[in-house]
Amino acid sequence: MSEVITAVYEITADDPAARAALVAVEQSHELPTELAPDNAVRDSLARVRTVEARPGRPALVTVDYPADLAGAELGQLLVLLLGNVSLQDGVRLVDLELPADLAAALPGPRLGVAGVRALVGEPERALLATALKPVGMTIEQFAALAYDLAAGGLHVLKEDQGVADQRWAPFAERVPRIAEAVRRANEDTGGRGVYLPAVNGAAARFDEQVRFARDHGAHGVLVMPGIAGFAALARAAECFPGGVVLAHPSFLGGFTASASHGIAPDVLFGTLLRLAGADVSVFPSWGGRFSLSRDQCLAIAEAARRPLHALPPMLPAPGGGMSIDRAPELLAAYGPDTVFLIGADLQRGGNPRRAAERLLAVTRG
Amino acid sequence: MSEVITAVYEITADDPAARAALVAVEQSHELPTELAPDNAVRDSLARVRTVEARPGRPALVTVDYPADLAGAELGQLLVLLLGNVSLQDGVRLVDLELPADLAAALPGPRLGVAGVRALVGEPERALLATALKPVGMTIEQFAALAYDLAAGGLHVLKEDQGVADQRWAPFAERVPRIAEAVRRANEDTGGRGVYLPAVNGAAARFDEQVRFARDHGAHGVLVMPGIAGFAALARAAECFPGGVVLAHPSFLGGFTASASHGIAPDVLFGTLLRLAGADVSVFPSWGGRFSLSRDQCLAIAEAARRPLHALPPMLPAPGGGMSIDRAPELLAAYGPDTVFLIGADLQRGGNPRRAAERLLAVTRG
């Protein structure tokens, strides 16, 4: 038997089996089967394997896609899994299984958990991160904040995703200055904090910005796959070998906002972004400003780290309104192979360095 | 007063004014305002302009963003308009207004309505398109189908979005052969049909595929901004000057599936894809396999063509289960500055050329 990609969907419909059959056709041939040539019906038509009715819940459906349909391309895999049916309500992708050779052909994390840990010099304990914000600050303000937070012991200093190439702190002037501030903080304190500027240029400009970051003291980049495309993660890794690729979920929420549609958060922020090449995947944790549940968040962390063919594990990065006081609870829940992202709370009280030290202390207690 | 980008949101919340204030902060500073430096509060904080309660409907809210926040970049504009709040329910982007100089800095259609019409040699009547499918056909089968449909008088022959670089018809072998079939059909019938292969390679491979298409007889490309990123549309136009850039909505449905979340279809498939550089924007029309309403579809067409600073109008391309018999009704509704996309129905009956001729006849009647 030929290899298959198996997608698991939750289907909300009066007749889930009929709907499942439509999904299988829509996502492969997109043509009524009686019109397709015999060779295409044999070779490239997806087929429903199981339909499990579940009283009071959406039916659970498995669809097998001939693996050759993906053409060993991430983009084409996404087209298969949810391309056209993303435009219909009632179909939600909740799991997938890939053949080993397809998984091996996809980018996957270059650094993964071990690589990021090696870079920041922290072999086992929780990793701590913050966002440099707000946009509109001057370069001096950004550099001072970065210095303080790096000196306070944070491992990852990423720019806010809205910090782009604006007049208040243009990319080409800002990046070297913040990198220098982080370098000085590391030197002054013996730390090894990494600095990840946000890269939001279009196409060729994206490549230029990643290479500029690489050549001017940054340690990786923040990429928004919802804006730049999923392939931008692997592209960043190509343009910046050895750099950390951090995925930010901006503009990806369309897939997770409805319970009857889209993609389960663990599949999107866990499995798919890991396959796409993120080393760190930021997502909105429960109890913050966003609406994922505790179970959904822990499932993302599990999907980031569980065995998946030969792919390295990825670091989940819960964020979105986290606080220093909640860090011990979050650490207990997520475990140490996690990047805890705490933003505004480190700027409260006017002493970011001390706040960072306090965060470090409560997570090392 | 400085220039602003005005976003109009529908907000579903118990206290829409309070929620609107949170949206303005989230989408600009992403930091409580009491923690932001004075210069950033002055320069880069978004502000709620109006909140209109509407009994029984979501409140209508306008938010003004300092225009410099977009940094004249499409990606950053998308971050502003819906980046983080896409992860929250209850906020839907329903309109936007840009300053003229920002609109001028964004890609916009290179060909637009007039350019595509000039290419296909049809100055005023409706344009007719089809999808070459199903995936899994051999190159010979694709070429034969393309010949028949082009000879039947269709203006645009695009590949199905799931036709990528698979073993049954690899991209580099397929594209020249289909292009040659369309060229022959044009020569045999005096037509000027254009062939648009689907481009789904990642990053650098995307550029290569577009240039390959340019150099091997294609007339443009099909791009999926939901997969490749919105910037891929302009990138395709850069790599293929004079080529048609057709945007396909695969994987974009997350934004439009819920009435209380995401982006109104006319803003997404009309305004934003036009700003991003699509010449033709495919969307699922009413009455087909997808769920947009008639009003939503006509609003997309309106957004594609209405005056928008100096941007050329774009061609809306309703598709998704359209039939020859419905074409006159659709033509009456959408008007002639439209690409009507009809797929499977042209393959019914086993004579695609005759079906195409019939479609042409019913839309010329």
What CATH number did the domain enclosing A28 receive? 3.30.70.150
3-class DSSP assignment, residue A34: helix
Could you tell me if B78 and B151 lie in one domain? no
Q: What is the mean pLDDT of residues A117-131?
A: 97
Select the residue of A36, A76, A88 nearest B134 (Cβ to Cβ).
A36
Is A208 in the same domain as A59? no
A119 and A72 in a single domain? The answer is no
DSSP type of residue A312: P
Confidence at B203, pLDDT banded by 50, 70, 90: confident
Q: How many domains does chain B have?
A: 2
Which of A79, A226, A231 is opposite residue B203, by nearest beta carbon?
A231
| Residue A84 clears pLDDT 80, i.e. is over it | yes
Q: Say what the pLDDT of residue A1 is.
A: 47
pLDDT band at B215 (very low <50, low <70, confident <90, very high): very high
CB contact under 8 A, B229 and A234: no
Q: What is the mean pLDDT of chain A?
A: 96
Task: Give SS3 for B120.
Answer: helix
Measuring CA to CA, which residue among B289, B283, B62, B93 is closest to residue A254? Answer: B93
Give the pLDDT mean for A239-266: 93
A87 and B138 within 8 Å at the Cβ level: the answer is no
Residues B91 and B154 grouped into a single domain: no
Give the predicted TM-score (pTM) of the model.
0.97
Do A124 and A88 share a structural domain? no
Shortest Cα–Cα distance, A161 to chain B (Å): 8
Residue A209 exposed, middle or buried by CB count within 10 Å (0-12, 13-18, 19+): buried
- Single out the residue in A64, A89, A105 at which a domain terminates: A105
State pLDDT tens for residues A311-333. Answer: 999 999 999 888 999 999 999 99
Residue A153 shares a structural domain with residue A238: yes
Q: How confident is the model at residue B258 (pLDDT cuts 50, 70, 90)?
A: confident
Q: Are residues A204 and A335 in the same domain?
A: yes
Contact flag B162-A256 (C-beta cutoff 8 Å): no
Nearest to B319 by CA among B114, B160, B141: B160
Domain of B322 in residue numbering reads as: 112-364
Considering the domain architecture, whether residues B70 and B179 belong to the same structural domain is answered as no
Q: Are strands B57-66 and B47-54 parallel, antiparallel or unpaired?
A: antiparallel
- Give the whole-angstrom CA distance, residue A197 versus residue A213: 7
Q: Please give the pLDDT value at position B145.
A: 98
ipTM over 0.85: yes
Report the residue from B44, B87, B226 with minimal CB separation from A290. Answer: B87
- Percent of chain B at pLDDT above 70? 99
pLDDT at A128: 98
CATH number of the domain that residue A308 is part of: 3.20.20.110
The arithmetic mean of pLDDT across residues B259-287, rounded, is 95
B108 in Cβ contact with B98 (< 8 Å): no
Residue B1 is predicted with a pLDDT of: 47
For the residues A99-122, what does the mean pLDDT come to? 97
Does the distance separating the beta carbons of B229 and A229 come in below 8 Å? Answer: yes
Query: Best mutation site among A227, A286, A289 for testing chain B: the one with the most B CBs within 10 Å?
Result: A227
Contacts of A50-57 spanning 24+ positions with Cβ under 8 A: A51/A11, A51/A16, A51/A17, A51/A20, A53/A16, A57/A10
> Looking at residues B116-121, what average pLDDT do you find?
98
* Buried/exposed A249-270: b ≥16 CB within 10 Å, e otherwise: bbbbbbbbbbeebbbbbbbbbb
Q: Which of A84, A137, A161 sits opposite B79 (nearest CB)?
A: A161
| Model pLDDT, residue B323 | 93
Give the mutation candidate from B207, B250, B285 for the A interface (greatest A CB count, under 10 A): B250
Residues A27-69 pLDDT 10s:
999 999 999 999 999 999 999 999 999 999 999 999 999 999 9
Q: Which two tokens stand for residue A54?
A: 């579940």
Q: Which chain A residues are closer than 8 Å to B256 by Cβ?
A: 87, 254
Contact A162 B31 (CB under 8 A): no
| Whole-angstrom distance, CA of residue A43 vs CA of residue B165 | 15
Q: Which of A105, A120, A147 is the last residue of a domain?
A: A105
Q: How many CB atoms lie within 10 A of CB B135?
A: 32
A80 min Cα distance to partner chain B (Å): 7
Distance of CA A191 to the CA centre of its chain: 26
What's the gap in Å between the CA of A123 and the closest CA on chain B?
Answer: 31
Residue B252 has a pLDDT of 93
- How far is Cα A310 from Cα A248, in angstroms, rounded to an integer? 24
Q: Are residues B41 and B137 in the same domain?
A: no
Predicted local confidence at residue B257, as pLDDT: 82
B101 and B117, same domain (yes or no): no
For residue B253, is pLDDT > 90? no
The mean of the pLDDT values for chain B is 96
Q: Which residues of B touch A232 (CB under 8 A)?
A: 203, 229
Shared-domain flag, residues A260 and A348: yes
CB-CB contact of B280 with B116 (8 Å):
yes
Average pLDDT (B225-236) is 96
* Residues pairing with B245 in the sheet: B221
Question: Is B145 found in the same domain as B19?
Answer: no
- pLDDT at residue A258, as a whole number: 83
Res. B207: pLDDT tops 80: yes
Written as one string, the DSSP assignment of A184-231 is: HHHHHHT---EEE-B----THHHHHHHHHHHHTT--EEEE-HHHH-TH
The whole-angstrom separation of Cα B6 and Cα B271 is 14
Nearest-CA distance from A359 to chain B in Å? Answer: 18
Share of chain B above pLDDT 90, in %: 92
- For B87-99, the pLDDT digits (tens) are 888 999 999 999 9
Q: For residues A46 and A6, give the distance between their C-alpha atoms in angstroms, rounded to a whole number.
A: 10
Decide which of B61, B79, B105 is a domain's last residue.
B105
